[in-house]
C-alpha cells in the first residue's frame, strides 16, 4: 500500500496536520500516512509524521477535541492539543535503541538476526536512556508549560524486563513531571503517566 499516494499527496497530507483538526480526522490522516509511508518512516523527511503519530495517540488518550503539529522552530514544542477549550502544548520525543540510526534501518522484509541476548540488553538499557532523553527535553524553554510525550521505541524486548521497564517509566514520570506540565510515556501500545 506504500504506493497509494504520490509524494506530492503525502506532502499535502503532512501539511494538513499543521492545521487544527478534530482528533478523529487528525488520526485518520496520520493513519493514511502510515500506510503510504510504510517502511520509509525513518527517513528524515518524515519526522513530522512520526511526531503526528505520537500526538494523535496522545490526543485520543486525553480525549482531546482537536490536535495540530506546530512548524519546527527553536523555541516551540512539536504540537498542540485542545482539551475542553484549553490549548495544551506538547513536546514529542522518541527513545530508540542506542546505536540505532533513523534512516539506516533495514527495509521491511529484510531478514534480521536478533538473538535473545539483544532483547535483554535492550531491556536493561531503557531506564538510563529514558532518563537521559527526558533530561534533554527538560532544558527547553517551554518545558514547564508543555506535556512531554515520550514514545519508548527501543526495539523488541519481547516481554523481557517488563516489570522493571514499567518501574523505570514510573520513576522517570515522578522525577521529571515537575519540570513539565506532565510527562506521558507510550510503550507497548499503552500510555503511562497522569
What total of structural domains would you count in the chain?
Answer: 1
Give, in order, the Cα–Cα distances in Å from 74 to each of 133, 142, 173: 18, 10, 25
Q: Over 90: is that where the pLDDT of 40 sits?
A: no
pTM of this prediction?
0.86
Calpha distance 130→152 (Å, rounded): 8
Calpha distance 80→72 (Å, rounded): 13
Indicate the Cα dihedral angle 135, 141, 145, 148, nearest 10°: -30
Q: What is the pLDDT of residues 117-127, one digit of tens each?
A: 877 888 888 89
Give the pLDDT mean for 44-70: 94
Calpha distance 111→192 (Å, rounded): 32
Range of the structural domain that residue 53 is part of: 2-192
Q: Over 80: is that where the pLDDT of 105 sits?
A: no
The grid cell for 128 is 538510563
Calpha distance 26→155 (Å, rounded): 26
Q: Over 90: is that where the pLDDT of 69 sits?
A: yes
Q: Give 194: exposed, middle or buried? Use CB within 10 Å, 0-12, 13-18, 19+.
A: exposed
Report residue 1's pLDDT band, with 50, 70 and 90 as the boundaries: very low
Amino acid at each position: 500500500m506504500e504506493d497509494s499516494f504520490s509524494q506530492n499527496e503525502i506532502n499535502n497530507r503532512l501539511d494538513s496536520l499543521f492545521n487544527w483538526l478534530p482528533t478523529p480526522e487528525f488520526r485518520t490522516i496520520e493513519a493514511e500516512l502510515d500506510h503510504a509511508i510504510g517502511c520509509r518512516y525513518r527517513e528524515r523527511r518524515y519526522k513530522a509524521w512520526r511526531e503526528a503519530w505520537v500526538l494523535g495517540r496522545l490526543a485520543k488518550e486525553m480525549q482531546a477535541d482537536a490536535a495540530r503539529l506546530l512548524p519546527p522552530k527553536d523555541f516551540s514544542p512539536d504540537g498542540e492539543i485542545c482539551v475542553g477549550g484549553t490549548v495544551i502544548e506538547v513536546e514529542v520525543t522518541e527513545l530508540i535503541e542506542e546505536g540505532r540510526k533513523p534512516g539506516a534501518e533495514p527495509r521491511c522484509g529484510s531478514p534480521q538476526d536478533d538473538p535473545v541476548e539483544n532483547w535483554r540488553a535492550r531491556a536493561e538499557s531503557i531506564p538510563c536512556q529514558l532518563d537521559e532523553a527526558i533530561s534533554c527535553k527538560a532544558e527547553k524553554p517551554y518545558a514547564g508549560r508543555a506535556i512531554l510525550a515520550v514514545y519508548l521505541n527501543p526495539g523488541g524486548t519481547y516481554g523481557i524486563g517488563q516489570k522493571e521497564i514499567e518501574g523505570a517509566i514510573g520513576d522517570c514520570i515522578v522525577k521529571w513531571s515537575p519540570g513539565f506540565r506532565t510527562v506521558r510515556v507510550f510503550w507497548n501500545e499503552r500510555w503511562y503517566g497522569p
